[in-house]
Homo-oligomer: A and B are copies of this chain.
């Protein structure tokens, strides 16, 4: 698969073919769902023989895992550009928000694929192949912000959910062109800025809002 040994007398790989396979596979999953991705349809769409796909990928599962890894790598690289975990919290969060928003707005299919993939049984296998450096940086950023009292003490998962889940939800509506009730919806920069403002307000240190007891887990 990923072997890069080069012998004499080798015919050169046509990288355009690999790109086409990746591109059309992603398109197909987004347009027709995971059950709509077939190797023969994919081969036709990418303009190659079905057998060619098996030169580059062990099987269909391998293709999906490689595609997911590739998309995550591209996404993470984009997010990290201009970001430094040593930034102060508000600036760092704003930079990340902007980069994430820009990417998924400009590349809605890529965003859709990554989110959809997170509900697949393949997710766990994908996580195992993941480069840990990205999440280490994110973790460091949050730990440091808590130490510096720029952020209330909270588990990383709570932070991430409050900080970014609203953004991804808005982008999902935007891509579908409608909200959950079926009403037309188009995301605007004003909405994005307002949402970021609300998120910053939520995460800013200070008295939390009092909350009624909601024991959903203990009393099962």
Question: Is A94 located at the chain interface by the 8 A CB criterion?
Answer: yes
* Identical copies in the complex: 2
Question: Is A158 located at the chain interface by the 8 A CB criterion?
Answer: yes
User: Which bucket holds chain A's interface residue count?
Assistant: 35 or more
Question: Is A172 located at the chain interface by the 8 A CB criterion?
Answer: yes
- Among B124, B152, B214, the residue within 8 A (CB) of A94 is B214
**A103, closest chain B residue (CB):** B216
| Beta-carbon contacts under 8 Å, A188-219 to B | 188-189, 191-204, 206, 208-218
A22 to B154, CA, bound (A): 39
- Among B97, B112, B180, the residue within 8 A (CB) of A127 is B180
| Beta-carbon contacts under 8 Å, A90-131 to B | 90, 94, 97-98, 101-102, 105-106, 112, 115-116, 118-124, 127-128, 130
Given contacts A34-B34, A193-B213, A220-B106, contact A157 B179 (CB under 8 A): yes
Question: Is A15 located at the chain interface by the 8 A CB criterion?
Answer: no
Extra contacts, 8 of them, besides A112-B119, A135-B181, A157-B173 (Cβ < 8 A), are A33-B34, A105-B216, A161-B167, A161-B195, A165-B166, A193-B214, A198-B202, A201-B206
Question: Is A31 located at the chain interface by the 8 A CB criterion?
Answer: yes
Chain B residues near A123 (CB, 8 Å)?
Answer: 176
Given contacts A98-B212, A158-B194, A166-B162, contact A189 B202 (CB under 8 A): no
A67 to B48, CA, bound (A): 38
**A186, closest chain B residue (CB):** B217
